[in-house]
Amino acid sequence: MTKSFKITLLPGDGVGPEVTTVAREVLDTVAGETGKKFIYDTQLIGGVAIDEAGDPLPEATIQSCKAADAVLLGAVGGPKWDRAPKRPEAGLLGIRKALGLYANLRPLRVQYALSDRSPLKREVVEGVDLIIFRELTGGIYYGAKSRSTEQASDQCIYTKGEIERIARAAFKAADQRSGKLTSVDKANVMETSRLWRETVSRIGAEEFPQVRLEHILVDAMAMHLVRQPRAFDVILTENMFGDILSDEASMLAGSIGLAPSASLGGSGPGLFEPVHGSAPDIAGQDLANPVGAVLSAAMLLRYGLGLAQEADAVEIAVEGALAAGARTADLGGALGCREVGDAIIREVRRAAMPPGHRMQMHWG
């Protein structure tokens, strides 16, 4: 009997519905080619949820996500809701908290065919293959906030336990990859970073002595990422630093529209989404790059459903489509979102299902 998988779809705002439609069609193609069965439940999140339900994260959305095997999200936010009493981004922060998602994985692999599209020289970015582990539930985003007419404050708090669990996840990945982990902090100034550095160092020494650990201050890391990105493999950092550095790193590949992500936790479902935002200026015009969403769907297959071969096929298909010239305007191409999706689908249908075209990481 064919096993079915439940996937909650959260298209969200702006270009979110467009790119998630393409990602779903790719997943449906995988299902058709492999005999898998995906059952979808589409729910509201973000600005559209405010408009239709009065809340950026309705209870029905939370319950659907908790009952799913994996969650695929498009994007949230837009200037329409900038002055709204409730912000769309609260929906994203809320679902991460509701699902207990503490590890945000953002891989970056520069496609050979796109090396010349990077704002950096080909010889700098060619061969870059790294992954950022960003802590997702602590730090300044979740700390107490206050504001008056004269001042504002955002509290940054980290516990030892929060640091330990994301550190272990990153160390495991580094052990399966190159054996090197780079931890990024601001320990010369911030007490939370001093606790971060002490905790990461202890976990490394006690549990992963075979992994080579280095510590780099976040301002220096921002420089090194554009100067010598091939020097890094697995990068571990806290919430805000990871948010900033991963957006910076995404441009090494030529466009933030290429970048996928996975947010994972304990035993519950993971959340998978492209790194790009809602891009309201191009929403509804078939101009968005769907690759980030499609590669997020590949991460959903790999980490969310345990379907590594199917994930391989999607990643190979994306590489093939890009190499053949299927590109949106952000990559210098002339195709629309749906046309690039169609090109990827054709490649999926042609793709073999190898046991693994590169070393795979295992979550947990």
- To the query of whether residue 41 is one of the catalytic residues in this protein, the response is no
User: Pick from 103, 68, 25: which is nearest to 314 by CA?
Assistant: 25
- To the query of whether residue 233 is one of the catalytic residues in this protein, the response is no
Q: How far apart are the first and last CA of the chain?
A: 28
Judged by phi (left if over 0) then psi (alpha if -120 to 50, else beta), residue 54 lies in left
Pairing of strands 260-264, 103-109: antiparallel
Phi/psi at 22 (5° precision): -65, -45
Concatenated DSSP letters of 205-243: HHH-TTSEEEEEEHHHHHHHHHH-GGG-SEEEE-HHHHH
What's the angle, vertex CA 318, arms to CA 285 and CA 128, rounded to 5?
A: 110
> Would you tell me how many other CB atoms lie within 10 Å of the CB of residue 275?
22
Retrieve residue 331's tokens. Answer: 């990559």
Strand partners, 42: 9
Task: Please tell me which residue in 13, 69, 185, 243 is annotated as part of the active site.
Answer: 243
- To the query of whether residue 247 is one of the catalytic residues in this protein, the response is yes
- To the query of whether residue 102 is one of the catalytic residues in this protein, the response is no
Cα 78 from Cα 75, distance rounded (Å): 10
Strand partners, 107: 131
- To the query of whether residue 80 is one of the catalytic residues in this protein, the response is no
Task: Please tell me which residue in 28, 55, 97, 141 is annotated as part of the active site.
Answer: 141
Cα 255 from Cα 7, distance rounded (Å): 27
What's the residue count for the chain?
A: 364
CA distances from 150 to 81, 98, 146, 153, 154 (A): 25, 34, 11, 11, 14
Retrieve residue 363's tokens. Answer: 């979550």
Task: Please tell me which residue in 28, 51, 55, 247 is annotated as part of the active site.
Answer: 247
Task: Please tell me which residue in 116, 145, 219, 281 is annotated as part of the active site.
Answer: 219
Strand partners, 104: 134, 263
Helix axes 337-350, 291-299, angle to 10 degrees: 40
Task: Please tell me which residue in 102, 142, 158, 186 is annotated as part of the active site.
Answer: 186
What's the angle, vertex CA 344, arms to CA 341 and CA 345, rounded to 5?
A: 85
Which residues are part of the catalytic machinery? Answer: 141, 186, 219, 243, 247
